[in-house]
Amino acid sequence: MKLYLKISIVGTFILIFLTACQSEKTATNPKTKPLPLGTYTECKEPRPEACTAEFRPVCGKADTDVRCVTAPCPSTENKTYSNACTACTDLKVDGFWKNACPE
C-alpha cells in the first residue's frame, strides 16, 4: 500500500511539472506572428507553370506538413513571395495577401 501511495505522489508531481512546461512553451512561442491585413486571394487551378519576373510581393499561406498532438503546432506559415504567380506555383500555398508578410 505504501508503494502505491509513493508511486501516486511521484506521478502527480511529474504530471504537474510537464503541464507547467507545456504552458511555458505556449506562452513564449516565437513563431506566432500577426496575420497580414487585406483581402485573401485563393490560388486557382490549374496552377501556373511559369511566371514573369515582376516584383510585387505577396504573403502566401503555406502548409508546413506538420501535424501535432499538442499545441502550439501551426500547420501553416506565412511566407513572402516575389509575386502572386510565384506564390501559387508552390503547391503548398493555398492563397495569398497583397504585400510582404509582417516581420
**Euclidean distance between the first and the last CA atom of the chain, given in angstroms as a whole number:** 57
Predicted confidence band of residue 13 (pLDDT cuts 50, 70, 90): very low
d(CA 62, CA 86): 12
Predicted confidence band of residue 29 (pLDDT cuts 50, 70, 90): very low
This prediction's pTM: 0.61
Does residue 94 share a domain with residue 52? yes
Does residue 39 share a domain with residue 54? yes
Which residues span the domain enclosing 24?
Answer: 1-30
d(CA 25, CA 56): 36
What is the predicted pLDDT for the residue at 6?
Answer: 54
Does residue 37 share a domain with residue 19? no
- For 45-86, how does the pLDDT look when each residue is reduced to its tens digit (9 = 90+)? 999 999 999 999 999 999 988 888 777 778 889 999 999 999
The percent of residues in the chain predicted with pLDDT above 70, rounded, is: 64
